[in-house]
């Protein structure tokens, strides 16, 4: 506006002495100036700011404080740690059959993916990003998120739910608090197991809405991320606490009944050629492992790939575990 | 018996192949449109400007109260090259407070006392108080309330104090609560390369 007012007298002064075409050009320029002046009502020019030579005294302008985003090689490191942890998890469970080492791995995962990375990015939440990126042409997705989503699924196709065992921070945390496992009645367990598919469908419904109304339900109602961040909405901390309290007796309630990614992993794990093997020979049918499995994943003396969460409790309960771990006994392929 | 097992194995292998191909296809499609990294960004030029009569309060404060991490991931920084280095800086002093014996406002603006200043350059022999000042914001104290940012906005200030995200604190939530609360669409997610400096 100020620029516009200043321009008017100049225009009238110039108009008298100029030929018509030049006048038209000038009018156009002035019109342009007036238009821009209207969109920017007032601006104090930044070059009014005193600079080094105005200030004098050998003053040097300090750099602007900056915190850069996590460097890309550290993000790649997250993916490498994820892949390596899944490799270690399957090696410990399938080859070494060692629960103690698996608990150590779980503690490490809680520390790294949980407390250090503060629960982000996790494959469970990445379902939403992948769904959005697949359907919304304008949505962008980082490569790290793509890897985080697909790696555990590919792993599950070959080795079962190695991710769930000691790698997933949410799972590992629940694994660590499960001190006195109770068996959930099989029917109830099956019925509740469907909840995770309902939750998955709901999450997709909420996230596949137009960008303005999109809601990331899985992240919003993540029960444990508040602990990892040591802050959060009181009701979510309360729900997380309730999950952990229940998880002391009921094996991994979130993983078995709510985790939508667990649902995807279960479908992939059905196809796995490798997995936890119990009942190494026909004459030893003691069933101690069935009683030791807190997740109802051992049916008719066989570990069910889609439900097995790679906790290795069955080995710990097995009287012949030591022999198997050191390959003194031969496993017989049964299923 | 062995025939049945092998058929089952074959079916499993086929199913496995299909699932792997689907996963691979999905991943390939996504990788083609992927960005290296996306980051949240706050553009204080777009946020509420109480100087232009947009709010009745001094600052909207949502960047402080909405962030999910304990000390907000938003903080104010001073872009020194744009700073007017004023003696009576409206972002440093509460310019509505009473004037003290030095002729300066008696109160500071920052509720957490995060802004410090020091005189710089040649001292004026006539009036030693009439200096240029360098204003520094203590990163650890600032909680991103934006009061100083508001005061430094046009038309009074030069807009050198801006809000930026500290990426060491930001946990990059999918559903950033600040962005959802922001009344002016100033909080957006952009590919890292396109973020404000």
Contacts of A191 (CB under 8 A, 6+ apart): none
Contacts of A183 (CB under 8 A, 6+ apart): A291, A294, A296
C-alpha A145/C-alpha A73 separation (Å) is: 14
User: Which H or E run contains B39?
Assistant: strand B38-42
How many structural domains does chain B have?
2
Residues of B in contact with A155 (CB under 8 A): none
Across residues B74-98, what is the average pLDDT?
Answer: 90
Looking at the complex, report in whole angstroms how far the Cα of residue B140 sits from the nearest Cα belonging to chain A. Answer: 12
Q: Quick one: pLDDT at residue A28? A: 60
Across residues B16-41, what is the average pLDDT?
Answer: 90
Residues of B in contact with A137 (CB under 8 A): 33
Shared domain for B10 and B87, answered yes or no, is no
What is the phi/psi pair of residue B75, to 5°?
A: -145, 165
A266-317 pLDDT, tens digit each: 999 999 988 888 865 555 677 888 889 999 999 888 889 999 999 999 888 8
Shared domain for B27 and B67, answered yes or no, is no
Q: What is the DSSP string of B145-187?
A: --HHHHHTSTTTS-S-EEEEE-TTT----TT-HHHHH-TTS-E
Structural domain harbouring B125? 35-194
Q: Which of A20-29, A46-55, B147-156 has the lowest mean pLDDT?
A: A20-29
Residues of A in contact with B194 (CB under 8 A): none
Q: Quick one: pLDDT at residue B24? A: 94
Shared domain for B84 and B180, answered yes or no, is yes
Shared domain for B27 and B88, answered yes or no, is no
Shared domain for B45 and B98, answered yes or no, is yes
Residue B61 tokens read as 């404060």
Please report which confidence band the pLDDT of residue B155 belongs to, taking 50, 70 and 90 as the band edges.
Answer: confident
| Buried-exposed string B64-92: b where 16+ CB fall within 10 A, e elsewhere | bebbbbebbbbbbbbbbebbbbbbebbbb
Across residues B61-75, what is the average pLDDT?
Answer: 89
Name the burial class of residue A11, with classes exposed (0-12), middle (13-18) and buried (19+) by CB atoms within 10 angstroms of its CB. Answer: middle
Chain A and chain B share a number of CB contacts under 8 A equal to: 154
Residues of A in contact with B192 (CB under 8 A): 69
Across residues A41-52, what is the average pLDDT?
Answer: 65
Q: Quick one: pLDDT at residue A2? A: 38
Q: Quick one: pLDDT at residue A4? A: 37
What is the phi/psi pair of residue A205, to 5°?
A: -60, -40
Q: Quick one: pLDDT at residue A300? A: 83
- pLDDT, averaged across chain A: 83
A193-238 pLDDT, tens digit each: 999 999 999 999 999 998 878 889 999 899 999 999 888 889 999 9
Q: In this model, does residue A156 exceed pLDDT 90?
A: yes
Q: In this model, does residue B7 exceed pLDDT 90?
A: no
Instruction: Work out the percent of chain A whose per-residue pLDDT is above 70.
Output: 79
Shared domain for B112 and B177, answered yes or no, is yes
Q: In this model, does residue A324 exceed pLDDT 80?
A: no
Shared domain for B125 and B97, answered yes or no, is yes
Across residues B140-165, what is the average pLDDT?
Answer: 88
Q: Quick one: pLDDT at residue A322? A: 62
Q: In this model, does residue B56 exceed pLDDT 60?
A: no
Give the nearest partner residue to A140 out of B164, B175, B191, using CB atoms. B191
Q: Quick one: pLDDT at residue A29? A: 63
C-alpha B147/C-alpha B91 separation (Å) is: 7
CA pseudo-torsion sign B161, B165, B169, B175: positive
Please report which confidence band the pLDDT of residue A121 belongs to, taking 50, 70 and 90 as the band edges.
Answer: confident
Across residues B42-59, what is the average pLDDT?
Answer: 75
Q: In this model, does residue A65 exceed pLDDT 80?
A: yes
Contact B192 A62 (CB under 8 A): no
Q: What is the DSSP string of A45-97?
A: -GGGS--HHHH-TT--PPPPP--PPPPHHHHHHHHHHHHHHHHHHHIIIIII-
Q: In this model, does residue B8 exceed pLDDT 90?
A: no
Q: A residues 169-228 near B, CB within 8 Å?
A: 215-216, 219-220
Shared domain for B60 and B7, answered yes or no, is no
Task: Choose among A280, A318, A313: nearest CA to A297.
Answer: A313
Contacts of A214 (CB under 8 A, 6+ apart): A132, A206, A207, A208
Q: Quick one: pLDDT at residue A242? A: 96
Q: In this model, does residue B189 exceed pLDDT 80?
A: yes
Contact A57 B171 (CB under 8 A): no
Contact A69 B192 (CB under 8 A): yes
Give the nearest partner residue to B36 out of A65, A118, A143, using CB atoms. A143
A29-38 contacts: CB < 8 A, separation 24 or more?
Answer: A33/A3, A33/A4, A33/A7, A34/A3, A34/A4, A34/A7, A36/A3, A37/A1, A37/A2, A37/A3, A37/A4, A37/A7, A38/A1, A38/A4
Q: Quick one: pLDDT at residue B19? A: 93
Shared domain for B17 and B108, answered yes or no, is no
C-alpha A120/C-alpha A169 separation (Å) is: 10
Q: ipTM value of the model?
A: 0.71
Shared domain for B160 and B149, answered yes or no, is yes
Q: Quick one: pLDDT at residue A260? A: 96
Q: In this model, does residue B86 exceed pLDDT 90?
A: no
Across residues B26-54, what is the average pLDDT?
Answer: 85
Most confident of the following: A16-20, A222-226, A331-335: A222-226
């Amino acid at each position: 506006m100020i620029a516009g007012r200043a321009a008017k007298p100049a225009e009238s002064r110039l108009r008298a002495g100029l030929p018509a075409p030049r006048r038209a050009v000038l009018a156009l320029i002035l019109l342009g100036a007036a238009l821009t002046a209207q969109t920017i009502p007032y601006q104090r020019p930044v070059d009014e700011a005193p600079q080094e030579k105005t200030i004098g005294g050998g003053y040097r302008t300090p750099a602007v404080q900056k915190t850069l985003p996590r460097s890309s090689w550290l993000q790649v490191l997250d993916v490498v740690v994820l892949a390596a942890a899944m490799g270690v998890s399957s090696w410990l469970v399938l080859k070494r059959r060692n629960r103690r080492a698996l608990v150590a791995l779980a503690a490490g995962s809680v520390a790294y993916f949980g407390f250090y990375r503060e629960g982000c990015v996790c494959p469970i939440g990445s379902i939403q990003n992948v769904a959005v990126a697949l359907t919304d042409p304008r949505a962008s997705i980082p490569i790290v998120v793509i890897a985080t989503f697909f790696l555990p699924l590919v792993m599950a196709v070959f080795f079962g739910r190695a991710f769930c065992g000691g790698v997933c921070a949410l799972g590992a945390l629940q694994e660590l608090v499960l001190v006195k496992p109770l068996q959930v009645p099989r029917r109830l367990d099956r019925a509740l197991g469907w909840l995770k598919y309902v939750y998955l469908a709901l999450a997709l419904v909420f996230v596949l809405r137009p960008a303005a109304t999109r809601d990331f339900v899985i992240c919003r109602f993540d029960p444990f991320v508040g602990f990892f961040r040591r802050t959060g909405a009181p009701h979510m901390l309360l729900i997380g606490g309730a999950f952990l309290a229940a998880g002391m007796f009921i094996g991994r309630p979130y993983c078995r009944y709510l985790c939508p990614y667990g649902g995807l992993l279960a479908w992939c794990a059905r196809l796995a050629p490798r997995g936890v093997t119990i009942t190494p020979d026909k004459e030893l049918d003691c069933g101690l492992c069935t009683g030791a499995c807190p997740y109802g994943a051992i049916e008719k003396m066989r570990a069910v790939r889609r439900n097995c969460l790679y906790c290795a409790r069955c080995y710990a309960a097995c009287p012949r575990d030591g022999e198997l771990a050191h390959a003194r006994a031969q496993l017989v392929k049964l299923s | 018996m062995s025939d049945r097992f092998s058929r089952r194995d074959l079916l499993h292998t086929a199913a496995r192949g299909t699932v792997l191909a689907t996963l691979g296809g999905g991943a390939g499609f996504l990788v083609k449109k992927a960005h290296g990294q996306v980051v949240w960004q706050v553009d204080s030029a777009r946020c509420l400007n109480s100087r232009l009569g947009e709010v009745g309060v001094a600052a909207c404060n949502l960047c402080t109260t909405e962030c999910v991490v304990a000390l907000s991931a938003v903080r104010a920084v001073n872009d020194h090259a744009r700073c007017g280095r004023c003696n009576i800086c409206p972002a440093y002093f509460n310019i509505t407070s009473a004037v003290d014996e030095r002729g300066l406002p008696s109160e500071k603006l920052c509720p957490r006392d995060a802004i410090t200043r020091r005189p710089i350059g040649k001292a004026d022999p006539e009036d030693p108080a009439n200096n240029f000042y360098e204003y520094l914001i203590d990163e650890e104290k600032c909680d991103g309330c934006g009061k100083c940012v508001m005061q430094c906005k046009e038309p009074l200030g030069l807009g050198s104090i801006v809000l930026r995200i500290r990426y060491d604190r930001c946990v990059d939530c999918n559903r950033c609560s600040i962005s959802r609360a922001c009344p002016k669409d100033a909080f957006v997610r952009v590919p890292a390369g396109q973020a404000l400096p």
